[in-house]
């Protein structure tokens, strides 16, 4: 048995036990001793061995021979690939290293196989820096502005809550191990309320579902505050001692009676009233906020408003009350990012920053060296090195992303397990190891344990770990600082400060941080004043910020494209990962669009029919499912399919846009108007019984 950690971008970061027989991983199970994992894995990760031994794994370096996007490659040796890549990068760097851009996200959340040797490599090179905003930076920066860090409740304590608001989270699909604690609370009599435009499988299991319009959570929070004020359900002592700026927000909230909030949210005023009564009167009251609610223009403001709620009612006084959006900030004092990433290798250089969420536009931009400094983009992007991400499938507004990746004058290297939509556009694909084949150290954004992942098996074929590939590239570039020789094990040892006992981490597989049970019972937020910041010096007093695209904010656009589309994850995929694992794809079937019966009827659409989703940016085809999971006016396009495994070689990001959130420069995937039309002659055929 080998101890591992799940590498995926998920709050749960499960502890794994891998059974190896004759050098082959035969079983991947959850560690029964690790409290949050509790011996259980999701369906996807229990199939991890199937993914690792998949017949289509890329196991040798590949060089492109066909057109970009077609996916025709020939195998080449590591030496040939590395020499050619280093030569190409050296030539570009000689003109301006900022023309080289790293593109990575959380394909693995590991500290070693994420930004360690890779960061050292790009720092030394002086490449563009990447603003990694594609997922959580709106809510994350909102939390930092409010609490001073991304910190909150311990997940285990939800088991004792009496009220749980599951807010913008399909926990059963994407935060299963929190859900186990919520179920325990439910069995002990807690009330569970789900706040989500989609009636998810999680909503089905809650006592109440509030199906608001996407991007209206700020208005709902203000409506709740109105009721807390007028019914005097406030904890005046907590507010006075542990918050800053309440009087200004109080005044704003008084302008949001339930009727106004309800009209904005597209729900009933009684729903706002009863939600506020529950929140104002049931103790302990806990909120599990998740990132689904911040993928809209006003996501940052909305997250701030929700984060303020537990202070207003003093919910933090109890360990089983408060809120959790992310726990990652609890690790700030243990992670050694600068040791791992070596920003000192930049010297005095401060390369430009490219936002990963606007890669579509940025790949299509020309150099504009003649413009004044402030407006400058800098050099045209000439090379992209992609690892731990599949941008052609996951980045917004894919018509532009694809056009960018197809540029003949762009040199693209992709480190991957599979020929993804992105890898299909590469000049070189380099075979990377999976979590079973390499060493890593993990932290979590849903619990408070540091985790170890040992290599369970030898790398398959010629696969190399990301850290190894960047070590090899550094050697070919002639980078001779000793830090470029650090092994994966040395990187793992360097990932955490000495306040975490590395030997104990290795021995046990995980180490829990020492933290107070009720972290803000007596204030003590991570802000300079130790108070919760309501009136932020940077962002002011939070407000409801309407979507970019909605009947409220863009009535003209809404006449042509009257349906709001959200595109949350399909349960059996992890973003675009696992879409090519057949047993999981079989469960999901095909790309679907859930529609309310009224919206379907109005368009002559029936369940099972192929439809076209379109707007001014593009169009994508999928199968309509007329379903109570969709509310009127909102359609749910479950993601994120590989384009080439979809219906017409595209996916939902064909229609999403690149405009950024109010806080955190993040994409607004769920702030998107579309129209849907049936495709002729695509009714499902019924064979006579
Ligand atoms: N099975 C599975 N698990 C995953 C993932 C996956 O792809 N599949 N992805 C992982 C990743 S990268 C992340 S970031 C997390 C994502 O998990 P979450 O943070 O939970 O975010 P989403 O899944 O985007 O959305 C969660 C819910 O928010 C709802 N939602 C959409 N718009 C709004 C809104 O405006 N307001 C409110 N209140 N709700 C809204 C969606 O309908 C959805 O049910 O999950 C991780 N876990
Ligand atoms: N429309 C829409 N778009 C979305 C979202 C949405 O809800 N709706 N969600 C957004 C969110 S929350 C996120 S986080 C992003 C996610 O976007 P990405 O971070 O790109 O996530 P994945 O699609 O899972 O792709 C990760 C890739 O990394 C590869 N990988 C895994 N481990 C390793 C490794 O060790 N080495 C190397 N070299 N490769 C590895 C996997 O094979 C996989 O192809 O997508 C965003 N896009
Ligand atoms: Mo994410």
The pLDDT of residue 552 is 87
Mean pLDDT of 75-83: 98
Pairing of strands 563-566, 634-637: parallel
Euclidean distance between CA atoms 223 and 84, whole angstroms: 60
Nearest ligand to the C-alpha of residue 636? 1
Encoded tokens for 361: 């536009």
Looking at residue 685, what is its pLDDT? Answer: 59
Q: Which residues line ligand 2 (CB under 6 A)?
A: 9, 105-108, 113, 134-135, 387-390, 394, 415-418, 420, 432, 466, 567-569, 574-577, 639-640, 652-653, 656, 669
Give residue 261's Cα distance to chain centre: 28
Tell me how far apart the alpha carbons of residues 579 and 582 are, in angstroms, rounded to a whole number: 8
CA distances from 436 to 27, 43, 463, 484 (A): 11, 17, 12, 24
> Is the Cβ atom of 10 under 6 angstroms away from ligand 1?
yes
- Atom of ligand 2 lying closest to residue 390 CA: 20
pLDDT value for 594: 98
Nearest-atom number in ligand 1 for the CA of 44 is 1
pLDDT of residue 405: 98
CA distance 635 to 627: 10
pLDDT at 683: 65
Cα–Cα–Cα angle for 286, 290, 291, nearest 5°? 160
**Residue 689 pLDDT class (50, 70, 90 cuts):** very low
List pLDDT tens digits, range 351-405: 999 999 999 999 999 887 777 776 789 999 999 999 999 999 999 999 999 999 9
Pick the atom of ligand 1 nearest to 214's CA.
35
Does 573 contact ligand 1 (Cβ within 6 A)? yes
- Maximum distance among all alpha carbons in the chain? 75
Q: Quickly tell me which residue has 């299991």 as its tokens.
A: 205
Judge whether residue 14 has pLDDT over 50: yes
Which residues lie below 8 Å from residue 293, measured CB to CB, with a gap of 6+?
Answer: 139, 167, 168, 195, 217, 299, 302, 303, 306
DSSP at 587: H
Q: Cα(16)–Cα(53) distance, rounded to whole angstroms?
A: 18
Separation of CA 92 and ligand 1 centre (Å): 39
Give me the residues paired with residue 675 across strands: 614
What one-character-per-residue DSSP string does 554-573 give? -HHHHHHS-EEEE-PBPTTS
- Supply φ then ψ for residue 272, to 5 degrees: -65, -45
| % of the chain residues with pLDDT over 90 | 97
The pLDDT tens digits of the residues spanning 488-510 come to 999 999 999 999 999 999 999 99
Rounded mean pLDDT, 522-535: 98
- DSSP assigned state of 68: T
Nearest alpha carbon to residue 442 among 27, 29, 37:
37
Atom of ligand 2 at shortest range from CA of 418: 42
Over range 589-608, report the average pLDDT.
97
pLDDT classification of 89: cutoffs 50, 70, 90? very high
* Ligand approaching nearest to the C-alpha of 11: 1
What phi and psi values does residue 640 have, to the nearest 5 degrees? -110, 105
Q: Which of 419, 382, 424, 470 is nearest to 64 (CA)?
A: 424
Specify the pLDDT at position 688. Answer: 46
Q: Average pLDDT in the 456-464 region?
A: 98
* CA 514–ligand 2 middle distance (angstroms): 31
Q: What pLDDT, in 10s, does the model give residues 541-557?
A: 999 999 999 998 999 99
> Helix, strand, coil: what percent of the chain each, to 5?
35, 20, 45
For the segment 186-208, the average pLDDT, to the nearest whole number, is: 98
pLDDT tier for residue 682 given thresholds of 50, 70 and 90: low
Q: Give me the percent of the chain exceeding a pLDDT of 70.
A: 99
Residues 651 and 397: beta-carbon distance below 8 Å? no
- Ligand 1 pocket, mutate which of 10, 174, 287 (most atoms under 8 A from CB): 174
Instruction: Look up residue 381 and give its DSSP letter.
Output: P
CB of 634 within 6 A of ligand 1: the answer is no
pLDDT of residue 680: 86
Average pLDDT of every residue of the chain: 96
Instruction: Ligand 2 pocket test: pick from 640, 660, 672 the residue with the most ligand atoms within 8 Å of its Cβ.
Output: 640
Report CA(373)–ligand 3 centroid distance (Å). 33
Q: Which H or E run includes 19? A: strand 15-21
- The number of beta carbons lying within 10 Å of the beta carbon of residue 263 is 15
Cβ neighbours of residue 479 closer than 8 Å, sequence gap 6 or more: 121, 124
């Amino acid at each position: 048995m080998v101890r591992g950690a799940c590498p995926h971008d998920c709050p749960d970061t499960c502890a794994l036990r891998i059974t190896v027989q004759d050098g082959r991983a035969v079983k991947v199970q959850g560690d029964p001793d690790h409290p949050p994992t509790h011996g259980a894995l999701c369906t996807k990760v229990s199939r991890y061995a199937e993914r690792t031994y998949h017949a289509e794994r890329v196991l040798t370096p590949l060089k492109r021979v066909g057109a970009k996007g077609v996916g025709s490659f020939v195998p080449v040796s590591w030496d040939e690939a590395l020499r050619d890549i280093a030569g190409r990068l050296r030539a570009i760097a000689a003109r301006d290293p900022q023309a080289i851009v790293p593109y990575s996200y959380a394909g693995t959340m590991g500290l070693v196989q994420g930004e360690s040797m890779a960061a050292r490599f790009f720092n030394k090179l002086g490449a563009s820096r990447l603003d990694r905003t594609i997922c959580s930076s709106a809510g994350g920066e909102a939390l930092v502005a409010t609490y001073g860090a991304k910190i909150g409740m311990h997940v285990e304590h939800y088991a004792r809550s009496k009220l749980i608001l599951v807010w913008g989270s399909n926990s059963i699909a994407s935060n299963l191990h929190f859900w186990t604690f919520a179920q325990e609370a439910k069995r002990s009599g807690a009330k569970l309320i789900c706040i989500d435009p989609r009636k998810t499988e999680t909503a089905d299991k809650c006592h109440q579902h509030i199906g608001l319009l996407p991007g209206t959570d700020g208005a709902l929070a203000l409506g709740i505050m109105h009721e807390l004020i007028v019914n005097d359900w406030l904890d005046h002592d907590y507010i006075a001692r542990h918050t800053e700026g309440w009087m200004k927000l109080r005044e704003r909230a008084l302008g949001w009676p339930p009727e106004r909030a309800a009209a904005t949210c597209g729900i009933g005023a009684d729903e706002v009233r009863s939600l506020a009564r529950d929140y104002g009167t049931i103790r302990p009251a806990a909120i599990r906020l998740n990132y689904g609610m911040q993928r809209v223009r006003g996501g940052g403001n909305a997250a701030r408003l929700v984060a303020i709620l537990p202070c207003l009612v003093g919910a933090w006084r109890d360990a089983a009350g408060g809120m959790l959006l992310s726990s990652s900030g609890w690790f700030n004092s243990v992670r050694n990012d600068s040791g791992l990433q070596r920003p000192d290798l930049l010297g005095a250089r401060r390369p430009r920053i490219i936002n990963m969420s606007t890669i579509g536009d940025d790949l299509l931009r020309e150099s504009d060296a003649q413009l004044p400094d402030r407006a400058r983009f800098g050099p045209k992007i000439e090379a992209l090195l992609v690892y731990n991400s599949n941008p052609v499938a996951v980045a917004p507004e894919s018509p532009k992303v694809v056009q960018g990746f197809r540029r003949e004058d762009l040199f693209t290297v992709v480190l991957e397990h599979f020929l993804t939509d992105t890898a299909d556009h590469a000049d070189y694909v380099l075979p990377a190891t999976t979590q079973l084949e390499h060493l890593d150290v993990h932290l979590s954004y849903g619990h408070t344990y540091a985790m170890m992942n040992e290599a369970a098996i030898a790398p398959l074929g010629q696969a190399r770990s990301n850290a190894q590939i960047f070590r090899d590239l550094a050697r070919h570039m002639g980078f001779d600082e000793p830090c470029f020789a650090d092994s994966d094990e040395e990187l793992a040892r360097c990932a955490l400060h000495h306040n975490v006992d590395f030997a104990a981490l290795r021995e046990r597989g995980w180490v829990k941080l020492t933290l107070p049970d009720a972290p803000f019972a007596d204030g003590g937020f991570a802000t300079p004043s130790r108070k919760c910041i309501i009136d932020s010096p940077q962002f002011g007093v939070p407000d409801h910020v309407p979507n970019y695209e909605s009947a409220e904010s863009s009535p003209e656009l809404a006449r042509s494209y009257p349906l709001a589309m959200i595109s949350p994850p399909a349960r059996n995929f992890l973003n675009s990962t696992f879409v090519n694992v057949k047993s999981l794809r079989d469960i999901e079937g095909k790309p679907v669009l859930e529609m309310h019966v009224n919206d379907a009827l109005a368009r002559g659409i029936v369940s099972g029919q192929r439809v076209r989703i379109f707007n001014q940016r593009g169009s994508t085809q999928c199968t309509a499912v007329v379903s109570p999971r969709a509310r009127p006016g909102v359609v749910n396009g479950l993601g994120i399919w590989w384009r080439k495994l979809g219906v017409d070689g595209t996916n939902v990001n064909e229609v999403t846009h690149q405009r950024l959130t109010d806080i955190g420069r993040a994409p607004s995937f769920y702030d998107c108007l579309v129209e849907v039309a049936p495709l002729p002659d695509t009714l499902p055929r019924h064979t006579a019984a």
